[in-house]
Chain A
């Protein structure tokens, strides 16, 4: 069987591929942007029935007193405020993720993997902003989803991913995608790109998913791919990934392109990323930068 056929067979035989919480992603982005109006936020929420219902329920909860029945999502947005809405969206998202993992072992892989996506999204957006502000949101999406193929592999393979990919890769000090390919005939990039196509997402996302480990990225021509490649590394450096200690290629050329010529500049950028990650996750005191601090 060819590798392409094995990939096709894997997708067809997969019953546990991840659900894409598009609304949550758009909402977190909108809440994070100072330019968003409550009307825009309401419009995003209205696109998703269960979030709408939860938001209205919260706005009508007894904590908000006798304000009369709130039935319009826009009014609920005004009453609750952006921090409460962000928090609710995160709760809904987290509950969705947890319901996907079948056991604790899968959770221990899924949690850092999803945090890796979020951190890479934040970093890719900040990188893109340095070169072309118009591409910042696209870069965020691309960063967020660049490892969605690996999320799918973990969701589908469960504990087998740990024993057949993760553990041997750590033992042999091989990059995970090489181990995936050796085992399955395809790796998370090919699977992710195929999923992107099946979800009918814009082609630039599939390109970023497919090429983020390439060694010959030309940043000037492939801004989003380059931003994601570097963001992938930054997110891992910040401690968000499945395996933190496996070999990774150097990215001097891409870092130079984004105006990060030396270690000091990169550390400064990482700190900014962590700060934005905290904004979007509202995780401030429990996030890694603060975990050893004393409030």
Chain B
């Protein structure tokens, strides 16, 4: 199997996307899959759509693309996300790029691997999470999902939650700077949560993506000049909180 890279949740962050693509080129990887949410929140949605359209062999629909194309679905967004969404929609429409995102699918199966923006149960909206809103572990539910839902595939790459981790029948495994490679045993079923390129939320501001060579998942973290992105967010009149969170990785 040729090694491929999986990126997700670029969210209009051109600086992060460029840094990630440079790293992918350095690795010699040519197949890039995008799990959606290329737009939303960030200051450069048009450039990010154009670049991913050119560079990625698979592009999925995220809930932000869906909301750009279907304004009525934006009701589920919080106030900050809604402001950014309306701004993004206008930019995408004015740039004539609606057609590049309107026909995307929210999931794609390739052999024993499923690529999806959200989760197996709900491709567009549901989060794969480690703990519920009471702070309790979701491990038992995840194991149930791995046992019951993973029928026609055994690996599932997900985005949407902005956090890098593996959800396995053994537990939730997090990469860290001391260890970022995980072997994927034959026959093993697991979720690969790929993290976010443009708005990481695991308290690490570096852009995140994964590569998979058929037996090994590798998480990559790439530094990028987030202060430039943050400056653009402010100068374009988007909510300041969207700029602040980039430095915090949350």
Chain A residues with a Cβ under 8 A of chain B: 57-58, 61-65, 78-84, 87-88, 90-91, 93-95, 97-98, 111-112, 114-115, 118, 240, 277, 279-288, 290-295
Contact = CB atoms under 8 A, between A and B. Distances in A.
Interface string B60-82: 00011001000000001110110
B178 A81 contact: yes
Interface in B101-130: 127, 129-130
Contact of A87 (B37, B127, B171, B183): B171
A58 B163 CA distance: 20
Contacts of A281: 131, 134-136
Nearest to B248: A275
A176 to B, nearest CB: 19
B99 to A, nearest CB: 23
Nearest to A81: B176
A63 B185 contact: yes
A90 B137 contact: yes
Q: Is the interface of B mostly helix, strand, loop or mixed?
A: loop
B132 interface: yes
Interface of B: 9, 37, 40, 63-64, 67, 76-78, 80-81, 85, 127, 129-137, 139-140, 160-163, 165-166, 168, 170-176, 178-179, 181-185, 188, 201-203, 250
A63 B166 contact: yes
Contact of A84 (B9, B129, B134, B173): B173
Contacts, number: 145
Contacts of A62: 183, 185, 188
Contact of A283 (B132, B173, B181): B132
A114 B174 contact: no
Contacts of B9: 295
A115 B136 CA distance: 8
Given A79-B179, A111-B136, A283-B129, 16 more contacts: A58-B170, A61-B171, A63-B182, A64-B183, A80-B174, A82-B176, A84-B171, A90-B137, A98-B140, A282-B130, A284-B201, A285-B161, A292-B76, A292-B77, A294-B77, A295-B161
B186 to A, nearest CB: 10
B160 A295 contact: yes
A288 B37 CA distance: 22
Output the residue of A61, A88, A93 with the most chain B CB within 10 A. Answer: A61
A285 B201 contact: yes
A228 B155 CA distance: 46
Contacts of A81: 174-176, 178-179
Contacts of A79: 178-179
Contacts of B130: 87, 90, 282-283
Contacts of A78: 178
A84 B174 contact: yes
9 contacts: A62-B183, A83-B174, A84-B174, A88-B172, A115-B136, A281-B131, A285-B162, A292-B77, A294-B78
A93 B137 contact: yes
B163 A61 contact: no
A73 to B, nearest CB: 16
A79 B85 CA distance: 40
Nearest to B37: A295
A97 B136 CA distance: 9
